[in-house]
Structure 1
Amino acid sequence: MTAIIAGRYLVSSGGFAWLSARRHPHIHVGRGEQIRREIAWSLASAVVYGLPAGIVAWGWQAQGWTLIYDDLHAYPSWYGPVSVLAFLIAHDAWFYWTHRWMHRPTPFRIAHAVHHASRPPTAWAAMSFHPIEALTGAVVIPALVFMIPIHWGALLVVLGIMTLMGVTNHMGWEMFPRRLIDGPIGRWLITASHHQQHHRQYRCNYGLYFRFWDRLCRTDHGLGRFDHDRHAGAGTLSSLGDGHAER
């Protein structure tokens, strides 16, 4: 499982890092040391993620412990999308509160500072965590398969969305059109424009998939626009708060 997770990371982060360099040729200039550090921490995180994932895979196949099922007719057809949404909502809630806790002085200094050492982050930073922080992220999906029934195919969809969001939210530019992220859907979904604001201001925009908890807890500091400087070779973000900021 560690090898699978590491391979998934290298393919997904590597692919979007390549796309980033194609789209913004100067985005990685002068950041080789940072990228090497991001890859090293991410591969270490793959080991942490691999252990609970391996236990779940064994428990499902050999012991039947989990609520993962393979019969498409075991539940109504509408349940598949609902189970995916339930996993995402639960994961998002867990991520918001553990992420916010990680910004308290002690856990930040011990663990979360590793992730924020990437200034600004690249696509390689998707899993760049201290092992303590990696552990808080590694247990949530394995725990949910013991609580919420889900088809293995739907579980793959959840893992795919988790990977996509983790990588694209850190790659330093916005791949979605502004009309989407500035529209009704974008007001509730997190994209790179929203998460980059977190890496600039630290004490805001803690969510993973949805902006619900940030809005409810008044930690949503809005969206921004990337302005890629050809000479500096880095993406900067001009704040365009959407009226929900708590300054």
Structure 2
Amino acid sequence: MYQYDFTEPENFLILTGLMFLIVVFRYTFVAGIFYLVFYIIDPKSTRSRKIFQTSASKEQLKKEIFWSTFTSILFALAGAGMVVLWQLGHTAIYEYIDQYGWWWIPISFLIATFIHETYYYWLHRWMHKPKVYRLIHKTHHDSHITSPWTSFSFHPGEGVLQSLIIPVIVLFLPMHYWTIVTLLTFMTLTSAINHSNVEIYPKGFYKHWLGKWLIGATHHSLHHTQYRYNFGLYFTFWDKWMKTESAKYEGNFEKHTN
């Protein structure tokens, strides 16, 4: 990694380009698999689990892919900036697992997801203030019926705000670089799950000790229709603590998993 000086403009542009390809590949691969399975190969098998029986229009899908590509550029810039900060010694990223031990890998992952969840929940609520909503968040909500391609469909302003948190976390939280890669992959995967318009979790999962804390398509679809509820990213705990979880969630989950 350190054989290249990424503070050099040319190397930084190359790094950003590589980061862009990685982000686009991850987004396309994950969203593409969900779309292929749920909408192309065997849509009948998931019909009873669809939140909305009507699928997103082709025009909407084109807009989602356009905005997601733009978001990928912003995420790539943030990722390249994070690498530069690491190279300059300004982050807590480490290379060798024995520096903190294997036990720290899952702990740092959980701490990072908690921080990310907290940041996103309150950012999300702020973005629903009328003036802010119209300015930057409406682009995402234009997808009333979500699809796996909705997951990165953000206005550039929202894309910037979402791209900042991971670089900030690694400034102070020691994380192995593969833990960061895992976190970013987890973010992409869960976003595709939440926007897929198909409930993938089993019947009664919302009552399970783990399931009651995880957000799925039923949970997040209610946010896209009700707006004032279900602001979480990965987990439901902030919605539960702040009384912003939709009262329709459990009933809808039962309905979509019969």
TM-score, normalised to structure 2, is 0.83
Structure 2 unaligned residues grouped into runs of 5+ = 1-18, 48-52
Partner of 1:172: 197
User: C-alpha offsets along residues 45-69 of structure 1, whole Å, 9 cap, x if unaligned?
Assistant: 1111111111111222x32321111
What does residue 64 of structure 1 align with? 89
Q: State the secondary structure of the residue aligned to 1:178.
A: coil
1:6 equivalent to 2:24? Answer yes
Deviation at 1:226?
8.4
Q: SS in structure 2 opposite 1:146? A: helix
Q: Paired residue for 1:39?
A: 65
Q: In the alignment, what sits opposite 2:107?
A: 82
Cα distance in 2 between the residues matched to 1:43 and 1:226: 35
**Aligned-pair distance for 1:23?**
4.3
Look up the match of 2:13.
none
Amino acid at match of 1:54: A
After superposition, residues 27-176 of structure 1 pair within 5 angstroms as 31-60=57-86, 62-176=87-201
- 2:38 is the counterpart of 1:20: yes
Runs of 4+ in 1 over 3 A off after TM superposition: 25-30
Structure 1 window deviating more from structure 2 (92-101 vs 50-59): it is 50-59
* Residue ranges of structure 1 left out of the alignment (5+ in a row): 228-236, 239-247
Structure 1's 226 and 111: CA in aligned 2 closer, same or farther, altered over 3 A? farther
Q: How far did residue 127 of structure 1 move?
A: 0.4
Provide the alpha-carbon RMSD of the alignment: 1.9
State the alpha-carbon separation in 2 of the partners of residues 50 and 181 from structure 1. 35
CA distance in 2, matches of 1:47, 1:54: 10
Percent identity (aligned) = 34
Q: Deviations over 1:108-159 (max 9, x none)?
A: 1111111011111100000000000111110001110111001112112111
Indicate if the aligned counterparts of 1:198 and 1:205 stay in contact, CA closer than 8 A: yes
- The residue identity in structure 2 corresponding to 1:56 is M
Residues 142, 31 of structure 1: alpha-carbon distance in 2 compared, 3 angstrom cutoff:
same
Which protein is richer in strand relative to its size?
Answer: 1
User: Which is worse superposed, 32-41 or 17-26?
Assistant: 17-26
Matched to 2:34, the amino acid is F
Q: TM-score, normalised by structure 1?
A: 0.86
In the alignment, the residues of structure 1 paired with residue 102 and residue 74 of structure 2 have an alpha-carbon distance, to the nearest angstrom, of 34
In terms of mean alpha carbon deviation, does 111-120 or 18-27 score higher? 18-27
- Shift of residue 179 of structure 1? 3.2
